[in-house]
Amino acid sequence: MSYAIMRLEKRNSKNIVGMFRHNERKTENHSNEDINKDLSYLNYQLIECDSYSDKINKEIKDRYKVNKSIRKDAVLCVEVLFTSDKNFFEKLTPEQEKIYFEKSVEFLKEQFGEKNVVFATVHKDETTPHLHAGFIPMTDDGRLNYKSFVNGRDGLIKLQNEYYEKMVELFPELERGQNAKETKAKHIANQEYKIQQKEKAMELQLEQINKNAMELEEKKRNLKQKKKD
């Protein structure tokens, strides 16, 4: 039994750089042991982006209309992971697999606006193919507001239902998983649980990357100060 899996993670300014380095394989030290570097050349972008930070900051600068400063912990980007299980992808041709991810990006644009979707990268160098995509939660009237797009648990369930309905038209073998609200019990598919564990590992990696960057900046400042003295 295979499911159309979609997971959302909110990102702020502190972890966007680390997210980019992880998704685009810009670092040699990966905490995720499933990454096979010999297969990383198979990864590809469905929406090209040379810098998440630059693209996100430019969109916000051009379109943000609220007359107050953006909070440091504000959600600037929502990272969305699309996948299914390994058995599902093994039955697809390479062309069908790409269509699966292209339709996922299409869904993202339909739900959150084409201007807001800033990157989309497919990973083929791990156990199961999956797509990392990201959108800015920017409303038409120029506000950064995640809840305007996904309002609580009910909003997330509605979004997941609509994603399944779109994908099952092309991939009828997919099943619709029962959510916790319907079953009144916490149920997570094995594959989704594994993805959650990977995301936790990725979060730790992002934190370490940002910590290292801050320490490097501090060393540079101290060195400059010593030269002045």
Lowest mean pLDDT among 5-9, 32-36, 192-196: 192-196
- pLDDT at position 206 is 63
In the predicted structure, residue 99 carries a pLDDT above the cut 50:
yes
- pLDDT at position 190 is 44
In the predicted structure, residue 12 carries a pLDDT above the cut 60:
yes
Residues in the chain: 229
In the predicted structure, residue 200 carries a pLDDT above the cut 90:
no
Mean pLDDT of 136-163: 94
Q: Are strands 77-83 and 5-11 parallel, antiparallel or unpaired?
A: antiparallel
- pLDDT at position 211 is 64
Nearest to 79 by CA among 130, 151, 135: 135
- pLDDT at position 54 is 95
- pLDDT at position 221 is 75
pLDDT tens digits for 50-94?
A: 999 999 999 999 999 999 999 989 999 999 999 999 999 999 999
pLDDT tens digits for 124-136?
A: 988 899 999 999 9
- pLDDT at position 24 is 87
Amino acid sitting at position 151: N
Mean of all residue pLDDT scores within the chain: 84
Beta bridge partners of 132: 81, 121
Lowest mean pLDDT among 18-27, 126-135, 142-151: 18-27
Q: How far is CA 101 from CA 81, 139, 182, 209, 220, in A?
A: 10, 25, 28, 28, 42
pLDDT category at 189 given cuts 50, 70, 90 is very low
What is the 3 state secondary structure string of the chain? CEECEEEEEEECCCCHHHHHHHHCCCCCCCCCCCCCHHHHHHCEEEECCCCHHHHHHHHHHHHCCCCCCCCCCCCCEEEEEEECCHHHHHCCCHHHHHHHHHHHHHHHHHHHCHHHEEEEEEECCCCCCEEEEEECCECCCCCECHHHCCCHHHHHHHHHHHHHHHHHHHCCCEECCCCHHHHCCCCCCHHHHHHHHHHHHHHHHHHHHHHHHHHHHHHHHHHHHHHHC
Both structure tokens of 7: 């997971």
Mean pLDDT of 192-219: 60
Q: Are strands 130-135 and 174-175 parallel, antiparallel or unpaired?
A: unpaired
pTM equals 0.75
- pLDDT at position 76 is 96
pLDDT tens digits for 169-187?
A: 999 999 875 554 444 434 3
Beta-carbon contacts of residue 5 (< 8 Å; ≥ 6 apart): 81, 82, 83, 84, 189, 191, 192, 195
- pLDDT at position 185 is 36
Beta-carbon contacts of residue 2 (< 8 Å; ≥ 6 apart): 84, 85, 87, 88, 173, 174, 175
Distance between alpha carbon 226 and the CA centroid of its chain, in Å? 41
Higher pLDDT, 132 or 192: 132
